[in-house]
Structure 1
Amino acid sequence: MTPQNLLFFAELLHRRTGILIDETKDYLVKTRLAPIAGTSGYADIDALIDAIRDRPEARVVDAALDAMTTNETFFFRDQTPFEVLRTLLSDPGRRGAGPLRIWSAAASTGQEAYSIAMLCDELPHLSAENAVEIVGTDISQSCLTKAAAGVYSSFEIQRGLPIQKLTRYFDKDGESWRAKNELRSRVTWKRHNLMDSPWALGRFDIVFCRNVLIYFDISTRRRILDLVAGQMQNGGHLFLGASETTLGVTNAFAQTNRAGCWIKADASAAPHALSA
Structure 2
Amino acid sequence: MTEADFSFLCLLLQQRSGLSLTADKRYLAESRLGILCRRRGIADIEALVRQLRMARDLALESAVVDAMTTNETLFFRDQTPFNLFRDIILPERLAANAASRSLRIWCAAVSSGQEAYSLAMLIDELSERLAGWKIEILGTDISAEILEKARAGIYSQFEIQRGLPIQMLLKHFQQVGDKWQVSQRIRAMVEFRQHNLLERNDPFGRFDVIFCRNVLIYFDVPTKVKVLEQLAPRLVPDGAFLLGAAETVLGLATKLVCDPQHRGLYRHAAMAPPLAASPAPDFRPRPAAVATALRG
Judging changes above 3 Å, is the alpha-carbon distance between structure 1 residues 73 and 249 closer, same or farther for their aligned structure 2 residues? same
User: 2-side partners of 1:64 and 1:248: how far apart?
Assistant: 31
What residue in structure 2 maps to residue 163 of structure 1? 166
Tell me which of 188, 191, 194 is aligned to 2:191: 188
User: 2-side partners of 1:111 and 1:126: how far apart?
Assistant: 24
Report the residue type matching 2:31 in the other structure.
Answer: T
Number of positions where the alignment pairs a residue of Structure 1 with one of Structure 2: 274
Tell me which of 267, 271, 274 is aligned to 2:273: 271
Contact 1:235 1:264 in 2 (8 A): yes
1:216 and 2:230 equivalent?
A: no
Contact 2:257 2:272 in 1 (8 A): no
What residue in structure 2 maps to residue 52 of structure 1? 52
User: 2-side partners of 1:125 and 1:218: how far apart?
Assistant: 44
Contact 2:112 2:149 in 1 (8 A): yes
Judging changes above 3 Å, is the alpha-carbon distance between structure 1 residues 65 and 129 closer, same or farther for their aligned structure 2 residues? farther
1:126, distance to aligned residue in structure 2 (A): 5.8
CA RMSD of aligned residues (A): 1.5
What residue in structure 1 maps to residue 7 of structure 2? 7
Deviates more, 1:120-129 or 1:152-161: 120-129
**What per-residue deviation string (whole Å, max 9, x for no partner) do you get for residues 68-112 of structure 1?**
000000000111101110122135313251520000000000000
Contact 2:101 2:132 in 1 (8 A): no
Matches within 5 A, 1:222-233: 222-233=225-236
User: 1-side partners of 2:211 and 2:32: how far apart?
Assistant: 27
SS of the residue corresponding to residue 241 of structure 1 reads coil
TM (norm. structure 1) is: 0.95
Deviates more, 1:122-131 or 1:132-141: 122-131
1:67, distance to aligned residue in structure 2 (A): 0.5
1:27, distance to aligned residue in structure 2 (A): 0.7
- Flag structure 2 segments of 5+ consecutive residues without an equivalent: 279-296
Deviates more, 1:100-109 or 1:41-50: 41-50
In percent, how many aligned pairs have the same letter? 44
User: 2-side partners of 1:163 and 1:60: how far apart?
Assistant: 40
Higher relative contact order (CA 8 A, sep 6+): 2
Judging changes above 3 Å, is the alpha-carbon distance between structure 1 residues 265 and 46 closer, same or farther for their aligned structure 2 residues? same
What residue in structure 2 maps to residue 78 of structure 1? 78
What residue in structure 2 maps to residue 89 of structure 1? 90
Tell me which of 255, 259, 265 is aligned to 2:263: 259
1:274, distance to aligned residue in structure 2 (A): 2.4
Tell me which of 154, 166, 172 is aligned to 1:151: 154
User: 1-side partners of 2:147 and 2:241: how far apart?
Assistant: 22
Judging changes above 3 Å, is the alpha-carbon distance between structure 1 residues 59 and 32 closer, same or farther for their aligned structure 2 residues? same
SS of the residue corresponding to residue 233 of structure 1 reads strand
